[in-house]
Structure 1
Amino acid sequence: MTRRWYVVRTKPNSDKLADTTLRREGLETFSPQVETPIEGNQRKRIPLFPGYLFLNCDVYEQDRPEVSRMPGVLGWVRFGSEVPWVSDEVISELKRRVDAFDRQGGIWEKFESGQVVQVSHGKFEGLATVLESPSSPESRVTVLLDFMGRQVRAEVPWLSLTAAPENNDDVAQGRRRRTRGRGRWINGFGPRASVRAKAQIPVTQTDSGS
């Protein structure tokens, strides 16, 4: 029996349910997950490709499971009438990279010295410049910011920082940008956004069929 890795779409917020369902059917799955920091210096694992997982099954369409009938699963990823598959080498490389991410403390944004960031931490709120890059998500970051009309150095938690958008008028003119406050992520920033930016499914070839 010849088997290949295929990509399955899952229902919203149902990656874990879909993975559990497919495994209970005796199928081999791969749902890459990485660590990411959250509030309170805690960590949790989140999907590297939210809404998708990999399924190893028979190459012949008539022998593939009817995944769309299973809880948590929407169906196969298709390109028109073709069902793409992923090589074993790509799956192995993904597993290697997930292990590498975990050894580095998971996926988190490593702000560089000189980078402009948005600070949302207590009395410090506004744009700042990173003076020293953080060594880990648990470390405090030294920044230079405007406070009461003068520039001051401050150490703030990594979780209180988000990258300032490029080519933003607020950045160019040095004005403050409104945030949600209390270290909560602005929509489009934070660890989940970093993960989504990496979520590109590496399809290599396709099989014809529906």
Structure 2
Amino acid sequence: MNIVNIDTWYAVQTQVNAEAKAARNLVRQGFEIYLPRYLKRRSHARKVEKVAAPLFPRYLFVRIDLGTQRWRSVQSTFGVSRLVCNGPDPAPVSQEVLSTLKSREDESGYIKLDQLPKLALGQKVRVLAGVFAENLGLFDGLADRDRVAILLDLLGRKVRVSIEADMVVAA
């Protein structure tokens, strides 16, 4: 086994929806973890809210010094499915990957995602959710900071609708 320096990070696959549980248990064992999260838009019962969600569902990163820490204990930690390995040894994650993720965090520690879709005027789009879900339309520009305008064919005519930017994708 090759011993790697102390600044090496590794990927851990967690059980379904158990990222926070695995993170808590790994920290209790003395490991440093990094769980990149972003603010996800969630709609429920006519209410829209932003909730923290893992950027990589079922994965987090753990810093391990293979020379001094008992890294095999990660495998049996509550909430963890497995430590991602390359053969018998843990597979290191590039420091550049983690640096890039951390550089995209806002002041609250959440990863900032590109909100506005990269669409051209007149491009075909599909609505992902809401009352117009699965409808096709044409991109008609930006309505404001978080919304886009699209033209939908409703009742035989084109209707301009303003909709959340993350609810529209290119068709």
TM > 0.5: yes
- Which structure 2 segments of 5+ residues have no match? none
Residue 156, structure 1, aligned to residue 162, structure 2: yes
Greater than 4 Å deviation, 4+ residue runs: 100-104, 120-125
Structure 2 residue aligned with 1:33: 37
**Number of residue equivalences:** 161
Give the structure-2-normalised TM-score.
0.75
Query: For the residues of structure 2 that align with 1:123 and 1:74, how far apart are their CA atoms?
Result: 39
Task: Name the structure with the higher strand share.
Answer: 2
Query: For the residues of structure 2 that align with 1:87 and 1:160, how far apart are their CA atoms?
Result: 30
Displacement after TM superposition at 1:145 (Å): 1.9
Fraction of identical pairs, as percent: 30
Note closer, same or farther for the CA distance 1:41–1:159 as it changes in structure 2 (3 Å cut).
Answer: farther
Displacement after TM superposition at 1:99 (Å): 3.3
Structure 2 residue aligned with 1:207: none
- Select the structure with the greater relative contact order (CA < 8 A; seq sep ≥ 6): 1
Query: For the residues of structure 1 that align with 2:82 and 2:95, how far apart are their CA atoms?
Result: 21
Query: For the residues of structure 1 that align with 2:122 and 2:98, how far apart are their CA atoms?
Result: 37
Give deviations 1:45-91, integer Å, cap 9, x for gaps: 21111111111111238732411211100121012334211243432
Alignment match of 1:118 (pick from 114, 120, 126)? 126
Note closer, same or farther for the CA distance 1:87–1:164 as it changes in structure 2 (3 Å cut).
Answer: closer
- Which structure 1 segments of 5+ residues have no match? 166-210
* 3-state SS of paired residue (1:151): strand
Displacement after TM superposition at 1:132 (Å): 0.9
Q: Kindly report the root-mean-square deviation, in angstroms, between the aligned alpha carbons of the 2 structures.
A: 3.2
Q: What amino acid is aligned across from residue 59 of structure 1 in structure 2?
A: L
Structure 1 residue aligned with 2:137: 128
Note closer, same or farther for the CA distance 1:136–1:149 as it changes in structure 2 (3 Å cut).
Answer: same
Give deviations 1:148-194, integer Å, cap 9, x for gaps: 22223x223217843254xxxxxxxxxxxxxxxxxxxxxxxxxxxxx
Task: Name the structure with the higher helix share.
Answer: 1
